[in-house]
Structure 1
Amino acid sequence: MGRKRHTAEDIVANLRQVEVLTAQGQPVADAIRAIGVTEVTYYRWRKEYGGLKGDQVKRLKELETENGRLRRAVSDLTLDKLILTEAAKGKLLSPARRRACVDRVKAALGISERRACRALGQHRSTQRKIPTTPDDEVALTADIIALARQYGRYGYRRITALLRAAGWVANKKRVERIWRREGLKVPARQPKRGRLWLNDGSCIRLRPQRPNHVWSYDFVTDRTHDGKAFRMLCVIDEFTRESLAIRVARKLKSADVIDTLANLFILRGIPTHIRSDNGPEFVAQALRDWIAAVGTRTAYIEPGSPWENGYVESFNGKLRDELLNGEIFYTLKEAAIMIEAWRRHYNAVRPHSSLGYRPPAPETTVWPARKPMAQMPSPN
């Protein structure tokens, strides 16, 4: 049989038994033999537990357990501090950097992978996963950088739409990951402005409901390299977001506005409403009479409220941001050609966020009608 292991309660009970036997006049040696231990063991017990009672022994055992738990907690906290101190050299934002950090902490402190992952909040399956790079990663990255270089004001969402149009099968999360990894970014947009509202909660602004329902137009001003100013008359269809025309000239008056609108009315039909601000060219009596005569109506915004003409204002901002701010025009002819090329790109290629990242008027191939074969002359 194995040797019996005495608990603290058993030891205190045996010591009390010896005290009772010796109090009755029995020799100490006989009392020690009665509890079945040697004198060396008895005196060791009495030195450690002498004078204690059963409840005191129980409390002592609890204190020892609590002390051990506190020592382990302090040890864990100290180790956590060492791990975090070792890992504090940079931010751990990506799984790859977390994996590298866990490996570095393991090598520096000689701890297990489980302990390092627990302290750094890294899942062990993520730590053990071997990262794989798709075969087309290099080519996709090159195309993203090329598009970002060509269209410097496009974000990763528009770049994703252009990639899909080019035949790539890539979602926006993957493009965003590569975009951030390569350090590409676009400056933050300007804060949005609120609209004017009536007392009944309805918006003052007329909302387009179909193509040719509401057109809007406005002027944009820029300068050529010699410092001379020129103006651009921008006309858009608010429903389709298509840029109908951008007329470029040194000066544009109400007669030029009438000429531009007349050409568009002949090609595209007459819209129901034409929205504009209260500029002198748009409120001229000759223009208002001509618009009324052709069968359309004006929709002027409130003075000092450009956000009510938000569609064309947004278009003007994109025109300036994506073209005018990045080009130097040496002549007016060069400006007209570059602006018209950008307008065609805007309509046919550029993804529009409000249209599900589709261009307003994508180009389509129209095959010419097949001509009937000429009747062969009779041999007779």
Structure 2
Amino acid sequence: MSLRMRLREGPVQLAPRLGIAPSTVHRILKGARMNRLSYVDRATGEAIRRYEHDHPGSLVHVDVKKLGNIPDGGGWRYVGRRQGERNRVATPDKPKNKWRNPKLGYAFVHTVIDDHSRVAYTEVQDDETAATAVGVLHRAVEWFSNRGVAIERVLSDNGGAYRSNLWRDTCEALSIVPKRTRPYRPQTNGKVERFHRTMADGWAYARCYTSEQERRDALTGWLHHYNQHRPHTACGNRPPFSRLTNVFGQYS
């Protein structure tokens, strides 16, 4: 185990060092859940330990995903860079940069995801300030409460909004314990990071949107599918809502 953590080598490379067959090394690493380098922390070489809180609301993860706004007519990912640039220049009612090209800005996707059930609450906002993050938290608490979930703890990264006095005071007023990840350890907040990758594939870049508003309008439908219909491996290949009980419209 120490060689795996220190050298980050695979069974074929470790076998000659140990004088045993690569298949034996693989079996040992698999038993210790270190057979994939993704299971090893790149900064420390230590094994990443998976965890899951035992009931909904015990811990929620929060984070923000930053996306470039889509110009009218479609973005470069689908229409190509040349046409995408034309669409960006033609998009009306946008401030200009020093080259007189419009600045489309960014969409900031704020997510609150439950550690136990993987049920997610998401909003698209135009910034990631403390005031905006606090507003999202208030609405998420109400949304989860309507589904029988009382939030006890919230885990965030070390972004400015989550280090602010406003965030701390709001959590105290809501009787929520705020926690932050260790610096340079984003994997501690890995559940929301993984959700954002799923969201990018399933919604943000899933098809050619002809405007930013069209993409934002599509989020509600995709989020409903994710929470109530899409099988999730962490939930035994059932949707996240299956881990909540007695929720109105749970399987609609």
Normalised by the size of structure 2, how large is the TM-score? 0.61
CA RMSD of aligned residues (A): 2.9
Which of 41, 50, 63 aligns to 1:218? It is 63
Query: Could you tell me how far 1:346 is from its partner in structure 2?
Result: 0.3
**2:227 is matched with which residue?**
347
Q: How many residues align?
A: 173
- Three-state SS of the structure 2 residue aligned to 1:327 is coil
Q: Deviation per CA, 1:266-293: give whole Å up to 9, x if none.
A: 3434411101100111111111111122
In the TM superposition, what are the counterparts of 1:1-380 in structure 2 within 5 Å?
Answer: 192-194=38-40, 207-226=52-71, 227-243=104-120, 245-269=121-145, 270-361=150-241, 364=250
Contact persistence 1:217–1:234 (CA under 8 A):
yes
How far off is 1:240 after superposition? 0.4
Q: CA separation in 1, counterparts of 2:200 and 2:207?
A: 10
SS at match of 1:326: coil
Give unmatched runs, 5+ long, in structure 2: 1-35, 72-103, 243-248
1:309-329: CA deviation from partner (whole Å, max 9, x where unpaired) = 111111111111222232344
1:330–1:267 CA distance, 2 compared to 1 (3 A): same
Distance of 1:274 and 1:264 partners within structure 2: 11
3-state DSSP of counterpart to 1:192: helix
8 Å contact 1:195–1:308 — kept in the other structure?
no
- In percent, how many aligned pairs have the same letter? 22
Over 3 Å counting, the alpha-carbon distance change for 1:224 and 1:348 in structure 2 is: same
CA–CA distance in structure 2, aligned partners of residues 249 and 305 of structure 1: 25
Q: Secondary structure at the match of 2:218?
A: helix
Contact between 2:156 and 2:180, CA under 8 Å: does it hold in 1? yes
SS at match of 1:251: coil
| 5+ residue gaps, structure 1 | 1-189, 367-380
Name the SS for the 1:302 alignment partner.
Answer: coil
TM-score, with length taken from structure 1: 0.41
Q: 1:264 to 1:326 in 2, by over 3 A?
A: closer
Kindly provide the CA deviation profile for residues 40-90 of structure 1, in whole angstroms up to 9, marking residues without a partner as x: xxxxxxxxxxxxxxxxxxxxxxxxxxxxxxxxxxxxxxxxxxxxxxxxxxx
1:195–1:258 distance in 2 versus 1, CA, 3 Å: same
One-letter amino acid matched to 1:212: G
Relative CO higher for 1 or 2, CA cutoff 8 Å, sep ≥ 6? 2
Structure with greater Cα Rg: 1
- Hey, which bits of structure 1, 4+ residues long, moved more than 6 A? none
Q: Is the 1:224–1:330 Cα contact (8 Å) retained in structure 2? A: no
Say if 2:204 and 2:215, in contact at 8 Å, map to a contact too: no
Q: CA separation in 1, counterparts of 2:135 and 2:51?
A: 25
